[in-house]
Amino acid sequence: MDLGETAVKARAFSYFRAATIDHALDAHARAGDDARFIAGGQSLVPALSLRLQAPRLMIDITHIDELRGVRREGGHLRIGALTRHCEMLSEPLIAEFAPLLHAAAPFVAHPAIRNRGTFGGSVALADPASEFPAMTLALDAEIEIAGPSGRRRVRADDFFIDLFETALQPGELITAIYVPLFRADQRFAFDELARRRGDYALVGCGILATFAGERIHDIRISYLSVGNTPTRVRGAEATLVGSRLDAVRIAAAQAALEGDLAPPESDEVPPAMRLHLARVLLGRLLGRLGEAA
């Protein structure tokens, strides 16, 4: 990015602080969809400052109570879209019922960014290098969306479509994310490899596994920074279902990654290196899951 050529001030816009979801949706429609919802602003403000985006209307959603709060609802934890990254670390309900999010949170940016950035904003943006979108896949989470035509829930498996492209339509708002409650027969692990702490990861991975005794009954493995979207590795998952976590199985899962992942060309991290790092990470994490018995 050549900052010398780029303005670092946003283009002019109008600002509207919405008190309810309906007000926010209505404002978006009235601006002819030439509008942006702003939550933590930790991705949007830099994009505006660099003039990558220049909407006519900024709709502040941070004062909408309905988007806030973490609570149990049946078999799910409902995590409000405005839940800040730092709350993933401090909220006891998250540590207990969605420990994978708790484990991934320290890897998201730096403390001050975690003080403002929101879960809903991170999932809506769907940066393939971000931790939380990838973890919604591992958790089999559901994303609740409010739009002009009503409310719906979309499974994370169906939510991420392409680079920065999701099932969200223009003018739609994420209201909450529903995560199945963590259970006693489950284990989780998260880790990532980055050049420096706080940087976006070269490769990151989170796993949620359900055990029947010592055998894996079900496993979901999700990667960040390996392609255009957060990525589940179904081939590797399939090699593990029904088996114990021994060295042979772990090696088989690592080998299966070659068929699951096709990292894009990049000057900094060649595809072969990313695939190698993905294998290394999987070996470490599965090893940890095995020990966590």
Partner 1 sequence: MSGIDDSLLNEADETVRVRLIVNGRKVACEVAPRETLVDCLRDSLELTGTHAGCEMGACGACLVQLDGRAVHSCLIFAVQADGATVDTIEGLSERGAIADLQAEFHRRNALQCGFCTPGMLVNAHELLSQVTQPSREEIRDALSGNYCRCTGYEAIVDAIDAVAKARGTSGGVT
Residue from 71, 73, 112, 248 binding partner 1 (CB under 8 A): 112
Amino acid 128 reads P
- How many secondary structure helices (H) and strands (E) does the chain include? 12, 14
Question: Which of ligand FAD, partner 1, none lies near 190, with the C-beta cut-off 5 to 8 A by kind?
Answer: none
CA distance 230 to 205: 10
Choose the binding region for partner 1 from 36-44, 120-128, 166-174, 277-285 (rule: CB under 8 A).
36-44
CA distance 208 to 102: 13
CA distance 140 to 152: 16
DSSP assignment of 14-34? EEEE-SSHHHHHHHHHHTTT-
8 part of the interface to partner 1, by CB under 8 A: yes
Q: Site map for partner 1, 50-89, x if CB under 8 A?
A: x-----xxx-x-x-----------------------x---
Burial class from Cβ neighbours inside 10 Å (0-12, 13-18, 19+) for residue 172 reads buried
Residue from 80, 121, 128, 171 binding ligand FAD (CB under 6 A): 121
195 part of the interface to partner 1, by CB under 8 A: no
**Interface positions, 174-213, toward ligand FAD (CB under 6 A):** 174, 200
Choose the binding region for ligand FAD from 7-15, 124-132, 183-191, 275-283 (rule: CB under 6 A).
124-132
CA distance 86 to 256: 35
Q: Site map for ligand FAD, 65-104, x if CB under 6 A?
A: ----------------x-----------------------
Contacting positions for partner 1 (CB under 8 A): 8-19, 22-23, 26-27, 30-31, 38, 41-42, 45-46, 48-50, 56-58, 60, 62, 86, 106, 109-113, 115-116, 196-198
